[in-house]
Amino acid sequence: MVLELQKPRPVWQIMFSTHHTDVGLLYLIMSIGFLFLGGALALLIRAELFLPGSQMIADAMTFNRIFTVHGTTLIFLFILPAASAVGNYFVPIMVRYKDMAYPKLNAIAFWMIPPSGALIWLGFADFTWYATPPYSIISAPGPAADMWIFGLKILGVSSVLGAINFIVTILKCKHPDMSIGQVPLLAWSFLASSLIILVAIPTFAAALLMLLTDRLGVTGFFNPAMGGDPIAYAHLFWFTFHPEVYVLVIPAIGMMYEIIPRFSRKPIFSKSSGIFAFVLLSIVGFSSWAHHMYATGMSFTEKTVFMIGTLAAVPASGMHVFNFIATMWNGRIKFSTPMMWSIGGIALFFSAGAGGVANAAMPLDFTTHDTYWVVGHFHLFVMGTIAFGTVAFIYYMFPYVTGRMYHEGMGKVHFFMSFIGTILVFFTQHVLGLYGMPRRIFDYPAIPEWVAMNQIATIGAMIIGVSMAIFLFNIIYSSAKGKPANIHDPFGLGGKYYYPFEAKNPHH
């Protein structure tokens, strides 16, 4: 089956459109913009930590503000909207429907994000993206903290609206001749992640409302001075944000499921196991939130339950990795840029998952808790798996969206620099954590091992920064001046099974 793809109109014509391709493109442009804003803050943090002492940032408060906005931006304003861009653009096409189920609601969900981003950036709160009480109640400066809370509340509503739209579109608007088992794995990934959002996000919305009323002095849910319990906030936060990790990673895996069979020139090894693994991940994601809280005084029995719940994610993740490798096995692989990014994402996904499995063990967790091991593990997932899968799909969809080809050489340079930089930064941070360096610190003592590893990490971050500048130039230049793409088979894969879209473009 060959699907039809409607090419979007230019940006200045789509600002108030509700068509799914137009909204998807708006999501994509906005998310790339926030990627570079959040990435610039990451480079500033790494430059500050290149040496002990104050280098570029005046004090710890300013460092905490930069750290907070960096994390909030890249999670909520880059990764989630970038996934929504892909879902908006391709899910209706894949289920053979004319648009999203609720086009106006879809556009509203997008337009809620820019004001949320403005609140977060104008406020520049200082309590990290966790907003952990009691500091976030008692000591955090008022307007900035409140603006952050309102920004996150609006983003939560946007996510729920988008999730409802994806669920209804996939389950109720798919073509009558298409069974749920025939729905492509990319669409399945959005169905699974949307179901997680519907369950998880309201919990954090309640936590934010309770945090706000605590700050106003009306309640004392998390304020120890009023009999509240900060650990209750931690439970509510992690009940949302450990499943949220799967909200981020499942669409990226779905994107790889679209790319790897095409460039291996083979059907996916086992579609049914991919569907099963998505469903399993969406369930077990809720069974492991308290592995972030081993050090809070839980009983041994409670910690054992959550350790087992964490390990339950291993079979599902392993199914995906095995599926990818089995699909590539004996395939006629074409190592174009999207495929290289996907293979790199698989390798780093395996590495990050291995670190998570090790960290699920209570003895190691007590050693690594609140150290740079956790920073390295989390970022290896976010950058090494989620961002790699997303960037792979941006390259993959580029000719279908623009009708032009990106520069293949620059795309490969972008990949190799990012892959090397990612290893230098985040593998090094794992080791730095084992050497005992705590996370979220503005300065550190001049311990030779700490200094050397921070310098390696900073150099790696700068390599990633340069590679992303190449990426930005490539997509902007190629969208205007790139070689016209063969819209039926832009990557030269051949074969009726290996290209999913046929552009519907009146100008060709």
What DSSP letter does each residue of 7-72 carry, written as one string? PPPPHHHHTT---HHHHHHHHHHHHHHHHHHHHHHHHHHHHHTTSSS-SS--SHHHHHHHHHHHHH
- Per DSSP, what are the bridge partners of residue 404? 484
* Three-class SS of 340-403: HHHHHHHHHHHHHHHHHHHHHCHHHHHHHCCEHHHHHHHHHHHHHHHHHHHHHHHHHHHHHHHC
Residue 8: the pLDDT is 59
Residue 2: the pLDDT is 43
Rounded to 5 degrees, φ, ψ at 7 are -70, 135
Residue 362: the pLDDT is 85
- Domains of the chain, start order: 17-498 (1.20.210.10)
Residue 361: the pLDDT is 83
**Distance in angstroms (rounded) separating the CA atoms of residues 437 and 195:** 37
Question: Which distant-in-sequence residues (6+ apart) come within 8 Å of 383 by Cβ?
Answer: 348, 422, 425, 426, 464
Residue 406: the pLDDT is 96
Residue 181, SS3? Answer: helix
Q: Residue 57 CA to chain centroid, in angstroms?
A: 27
* Burial classification of residue 447, based on how many CB atoms lie within 10 Å of its CB (0-12 exposed, 13-18 middle, 19 or more buried): middle
Residue 496: the pLDDT is 55
pLDDT tens per residue, range 252-280 = 999 999 999 999 999 999 999 999 999 99
The Cβ of residue 183 has, within 10 Å, a number of other Cβ atoms equal to 21
Are 241 and 288 in contact by the 8 Å Cβ rule? The answer is no
Give me the amino acid identity at 455. Answer: Q
For the chain, residues with pLDDT lower than 50 are 1-4, 497-508
pTM for this prediction: 0.93
Residue 40: the pLDDT is 97
- Per DSSP, what are the bridge partners of residue 503? 5
Give me the amino acid identity at 148. Answer: W
Residue 495: the pLDDT is 63
Q: What angle do CA 88, 261, 101 make, to 5 degrees?
A: 20
Are 150 and 119 in contact by the 8 Å Cβ rule? The answer is yes
Hunting for tokens 């179901």 — which residue is that? 195
Q: Both tokens of residue 403?
A: 């009708």
